[in-house]
Structure 1
Amino acid sequence: MASSPASKSKRPSFAKGSLVRSSSYLDDHLEYRSHQTGPATSIDGIIEQPAALSSNAVSNLSLTSSKSIGAIAPSPTRDIESVHTLSHTNCVQDKAAAGRLVATIYYNANQPSHPHPHPDQSPYSRPTPADTLPAPAIAEGSAPTSNISDYPLEPQGPEPEPLDHIYGPYISQLCLTHFLATLDSLLIHNAPDQRRLLSTHRCLAPDTSKPRIMEVTFSPPPNPTYLPFNLVSKHESIYKFEREWNCEVILQPSSIFRRYKRLCVFDMDSTLIQQEVIDEIAAFIGVQDQVSAITARAMNGELDFSASLKARVALLKGVPSDVFERLRPKITITPGARELCKALKRLGLQLAVLSGGFQPLADWLAGELGLDYAFANHLLADPETQTLTGELDPDHPIVNAEYKQKLLISLASGKGIPLAQTMAVGDGANDIPMLMTAGLGVAWRAKNKVQMEAPARLNVGKSMLDLVYLLGLTESEIKELLAD
């Protein structure tokens, strides 16, 4: 039975001219949405054209061409007009349009948020004499310090309410919509014709219903005079979004060089491996506490790296020169490092380790992971006593921050690789110059100072293999790369 006109008028309409733009904020920002201002051509009109219509008449349809073919009225059973065009922003770009950016969003699946427990459910609700309250602590990665005794006396600002435990422990549609709204708020200082946010997104892992990693391509970027690209990811709005949705965002320019890297360099200690080698060596002679204290300050940028390295090496005098062979069974390669290197090698990248550690272990690690180059510091050994002298070999330069940067530039230029096609991964203050020089520099679970200064940071990855997603690969493509 046909609906009466009165009943139809009560239903919402999303056709052209309707007061309602779309069903959600997300739909408003999809670049596939038609932007026509004149009469629209429906997809039914294209399909139902007579056979005499020339083939190029269809291909000439665009956002502005609607004269050659009139709109076909919707059938009586339809309540919503679905309007389409055969061209969109991604295919036919405005030559004067600003560049596009790519945001890779990682959900922290390792530590999903949970709602605050009811007081009655708290383990401290019925205290006993043996119960003790947990010591106050600051979340790892907080800036500028994680030492609560160094915190200022004024109270901390309130943390944003976590939302992922309400809408799902993954990148939900509301999370994505909130991200687009956050980006839209950054366009306030753009020119009037550069304030319409256009975006597309892809779910990279693990699936399209509950994605852990999502890639969002959007344009235009914020006005660089107001907010330069290197500061967009550090904007307070982005930081607040990350805290609310328990995720991290890495921004890159949308270019061919983002997808096709040719060189990747890594730090070794606390990056490709989970130990600081010099601390492990110090344990042999009982000076681990002294060396570890210097190492921590050096990695946080509090001490000059070269001077601190010499001071630490001096404490190793008398250690057996075969200490590196003894250490190998104790070295733990970071989870995902093997798979990451295998995937990158199959993509054709040159790989190198640039380490402030020592050459024997760097060479061993290069063999384990299939790296092409290994650069590290050289220790002197006494051939008579077969022990370390506590000195560095003067014939080899110290692999400090400046030398790591020079090695990156040298390796790239030697292979004719633009720096835009390079990638660097590290965690210490001595890695900052190479992270800033590479086309993509990622602070992997790094020290606070490094996270604040590096172009990108990743703390929430399940393993180092998650770095491959920054090249735009999907989980199925990564599995194909790793297949034997």
Structure 2
Amino acid sequence: MASSPSRSRNLSLAKESLTGSSYLDDHLEYKSHQSGPSTSIDGVMDQPTRRPRHTMSNASLTSRRSISAISPSPMVAQESSTVYTISHTNCVREPGGPARLVATIYYNSASPRHPHIHPDQSPPGRAIDRIPVPEIVEGSAPTTSIAEYPLEPPAPEPEPLDHLYGAYISQLCLTHFLSTLDSLLIHNRSEERRLTSSHRCLAPDPVKPRVMEVTFSPAPNSEYLPFPLISKHESIYKFEREWNCEIVLQPSTVYRRHKRLCVFDMDSTLIQQEVIDEIAAFIGVKEAVAAITERAMNGELDFASSLKARVALLKGVPSHVFEHLKPKLVITPGAKELCKCLKRLGFTLAVLSGGFQPLADWLAGQLGLDHAFANHLIVDPKTETLTGELDPSCPIVDAQHKRNLLISLASGKDIPLAQTMAVGDGANDIPMLQTAGLGVAWKAKSKVQMEAPARLNIGESMLDLIYLLGVTKEEVDELLRD
């Protein structure tokens, strides 16, 4: 079996003339079928003598920053037409070995940073075309005004490496990620500084993958970098910007793959609008209500107080306003497919909304959800209009109540919190996101992205969330098949 390169600085991407193998092939956890010479004992014996790519010295085994590579070719014995294959040794962790983490890498193929694959393929410029004014990202420099710099201003963005090496998760992108992980092990004990990893493509193309799953160990020293902060480390953030991708980190446990309960926020998550703003637009007070909504979702206002203030502006609205709104609500792309897949996997699904019960019930029916919890408005039976008040007999579905509902639903079905998942976008979703086994801020407000365990902004379909469970595109297609 071929030995590994000794250090991450000397990663080899060269192809073998005989097998087509590369450094990254050594990290494949589930290797796809490859055409070429037979891997049976007879086939191997018939091949020319193979020269090892690398040699491993004693020094490399004790190197502080080495990345192990395991030969992808299985050891095979053929006897009576029966083939026995030894699995990749990284599939099963050694007893007492360090715990593993899983990184799901999403490439932002739905919104590439560069409109052209290569500069040479850009349309030719004309003499009358204006040169675009360079921009500096706010917060990345003391000022964003280029005119204030006497010499050369800082670069607006890091070098777009995906533009150079492929608009997908390329081999060099993955190698760079492993090197970034390796750099975070500097504070580990000497016996825990050797990074081991394996990867597999989840979707949609094994040649140009958009979603990649990387399993690695060990994790960085928790005293130096606790697990919740790894994805927020500046090295990870820089990697994401350079390669136009996003990374979600999770512990590699059976509960990651086999969750049983998922709860969703409704407004700006399962649907693309804020319901209370749509009601306000119906009566002509959208601007006043929308301003309060935005501050509440950003965590600038107490949710319960802001909700009461907005509801008060709805006094006199006909109670049939909800029927008027239902045709106007836009379900987020991929939400139906995601819920269908999760239901077929045996999930219990619920919507926990700071909106209103009639629309939460309607959405639950549209998506096949098991539970719907939202706020209840009082209707004047004489005039059949809203009174501008919340029903005092029903609790307000604020941040704390959402968290309590998650815990209650899990407890009622005897589901450990590690087997739960929560998705939301507003500040009132943060407690439930932090409580669930996997909490994902879906295209969320800045405050939520900073405090949620995971964030996902790229892509246009909520169906992308299912890849966090380790499900492949082929399996998704099977789940969606009628």
Normalised TM-score (structure 1):
0.80
Q: 1:291 aligns with which of 275, 289, 300?
A: 289
Q: 2:82: which partner in 1?
A: none
Q: 1:251 aligns with which of 249, 273, 278?
A: 249
**Matches for 1:74-113 after TM superposition, within 5 Å:** 77-81=48-52, 86=86, 89-90=89-90, 93-113=93-113
Q: Is the 8 A contact 1:102 1:253 kept in 2?
A: yes
**Matches for 1:46-445 after TM superposition, within 5 Å:** 47=41, 77-81=48-52, 86=86, 89-90=89-90, 93-114=93-114, 126=128, 158-445=156-443
SS class of match (1:390): strand
Identity %: 68
Q: Which amino acid aligns with 1:280?
A: E
* Distance (Å, rounded) in 2 between the aligned partners of 1:209 and 1:17: 23
Q: Does 2:12 align with 1:23?
A: yes
* Distance (Å, rounded) in 2 between the aligned partners of 1:332 and 1:248: 26
SS class of match (2:23): helix
The runs of 5 or more residues in structure 1 that have no matched partner are: 1-13, 34-43, 49-71
CA shift in 2, pair 1:354/1:345, >3 Å: same
Q: 1:385 deviation in Å?
A: 1.0
CA shift in 2, pair 1:238/1:133, >3 Å: closer
CA shift in 2, pair 1:197/1:458, >3 Å: same
SS class of match (2:396): coil
Q: 1:462 deviation in Å?
A: 3.1
CA shift in 2, pair 1:137/1:269, >3 Å: farther
Q: 1:97 deviation in Å?
A: 1.4
Render the CA deviation track for 1:179-199: whole Å, top value 9, x for unaligned: 000111111111111111111
Q: 1:29 deviation in Å?
A: 9.5
Q: Which amino acid aligns with 1:272?
A: L
SS class of match (1:353): strand
Render the CA deviation track for 1:415-438: whole Å, top value 9, x for unaligned: 000000000000000000000000
**Matches for 1:459-470 after TM superposition, within 5 Å:** 459-470=457-468
The runs of 5 or more residues in structure 2 that have no matched partner are: 15-21, 30-37, 54-70, 76-85
* Distance (Å, rounded) in 2 between the aligned partners of 1:401 and 1:253: 26
Aligned residues: 424
Q: Is the 8 A contact 2:111 2:459 kept in 1?
A: no
Q: 1:137 deviation in Å?
A: 8.8
Q: Is the 8 A contact 1:29 1:199 kept in 2?
A: no
Render the CA deviation track for 1:272-312: whole Å, top value 9, x for unaligned: 00000000000122110000000001000011100000000
CA shift in 2, pair 1:87/1:426, >3 Å: closer
Q: Which amino acid aligns with 1:418?
A: P
Q: 1:168 deviation in Å?
A: 1.1
Q: Which amino acid aligns with 1:23?
A: S
SS class of match (1:102): strand
CA shift in 2, pair 1:374/1:137, >3 Å: farther
Q: 1:91 deviation in Å?
A: 5.0
Q: Which amino acid aligns with 1:204?
A: L
SS class of match (2:194): coil
Give the alignment's Cα RMSD to 1 decimal: 3.3
Normalised TM-score (structure 2):
0.80
Q: 1:90 deviation in Å?
A: 2.8
Render the CA deviation track for 1:150-192: whole Å, top value 9, x for unaligned: xxx9987752111111111110000000000011111111111
Q: Is the 8 A contact 1:113 1:169 kept in 2?
A: no
SS class of match (1:265): strand
CA shift in 2, pair 1:255/1:245, >3 Å: same
Render the CA deviation track for 1:318-354: whole Å, top value 9, x for unaligned: 1101100000110000000000000000000000000
CA shift in 2, pair 1:379/1:156, >3 Å: farther
* Distance (Å, rounded) in 2 between the aligned partners of 1:309 and 1:226: 41
Q: Is the 8 A contact 2:433 2:439 kept in 1?
A: yes
Q: 1:126 deviation in Å?
A: 2.4
* Distance (Å, rounded) in 1 between the aligned partners of 2:135 and 2:168: 29
SS class of match (1:90): helix
